Amino acid sequence: MSTPSWQRRLYSLGLAHHDQLNRAFGGGLPKGSLVLVEGPYGAGKSTLAGRIAYGLTEQSHEVTYLSTERPVGSFIDAMRSLSYGVTGALLDRQLLYLFGDLSGYDDGEPPPLLTRLTESRRMWESDVAIIDTFGDVLRYDPTFDVLAEQTDRRRAAQRVITFLRRVARTDRTVILTVDPRGLADETLGPFRAIADVLLDVTVTGGSRGVRRTIDVQRFVGMGQQVDDSIGFSIRPGIGIVVENRRVV
């Protein structure tokens, strides 16, 4: 039986027998798309990004994962605690993990991550590239600050977007996680405007515990029906559990 055409246009997130995330996203993420995942610190963006990376490698897709928060050892430990064993994919080079160390910023010399990103060939050879968190790159990168001072933040953002769009035209998908707090609207606005997939991750606390939700603001190029609101929890030893889904 041949694969339906809509499935060939997607990168499946896999783990169909483990959780309902891929089904909630209509069968996967569109190839050649720019995905923006917004949410405050602690909402679960990194866990979601890790789950996506793991599921993609389980589907034999190649992934590059850049983190500004965790070195590779911490990443492996965190993924293992959620039952997402990534060691094999790392050893097979199916998953390339990079740590963007921002510790130099404390000494007044932030590393030029943006320049390294745009000049790196290996970073963009995978099927999917994940930058977690991209907000840190924009917030601390000296190159972006210079561009912003020379023109304005919106035009500086547009230069980065032009590069990312060039990557996406090769059918590679780029996922960016961002904490919007501390970023000017002029900086983040252009990325929101051009994102093919725009997700807003929220977390609230109450008498029944923590509630996490993925609100789908935009999803261009979907396969099947995509849920508008996806409630989920993060459970040790299990990972992400989709608890409820709403289609409007």
For residue range 211-232, list pLDDT tens digits in order.
Answer: 999 999 999 999 899 999 999 9
Looking at residue 167, its pLDDT comes to 96
The yes-or-no verdict on residue 248 having pLDDT over 60 is no
Looking at residue 112, its pLDDT comes to 76
Higher pLDDT, 74 or 101: 74
The yes-or-no verdict on residue 34 having pLDDT over 50 is yes
Containing H/E element for 215?
A: strand 209-219
The yes-or-no verdict on residue 153 having pLDDT over 90 is no
Burial zone of 204 (CB within 10 Å; 0-12 exposed, 13-18 middle, 19+ buried) = exposed
Looking at residue 108, its pLDDT comes to 59
Question: Average pLDDT in the 42-65 region?
Answer: 97
Domains of the chain: 29-199 (3.40.50.300)
Higher pLDDT, 247 or 201: 201
Strand order in the sheet with 95-99: 95-99, 63-67, 128-132, 173-178, 34-38, 197-206, 209-219, 229-235, 239-246
Looking at residue 107, its pLDDT comes to 58
The yes-or-no verdict on residue 47 having pLDDT over 90 is yes
Burial zone of 247 (CB within 10 Å; 0-12 exposed, 13-18 middle, 19+ buried) = exposed
Q: pLDDT band at residue 44, thresholds of 50, 70 and 90?
A: very high
Residues linked to residue 233 through DSSP beta bridges, in sequence order: 241
Looking at residue 105, its pLDDT comes to 59
The yes-or-no verdict on residue 38 having pLDDT over 90 is yes
Q: pLDDT band at residue 246, thresholds of 50, 70 and 90?
A: low
Amino acid at site 121: R
CB of 243 closer than 8 Å to CB of 233: yes
Percentage, residues of the chain above pLDDT 70: 90
Looking at residue 245, its pLDDT comes to 61
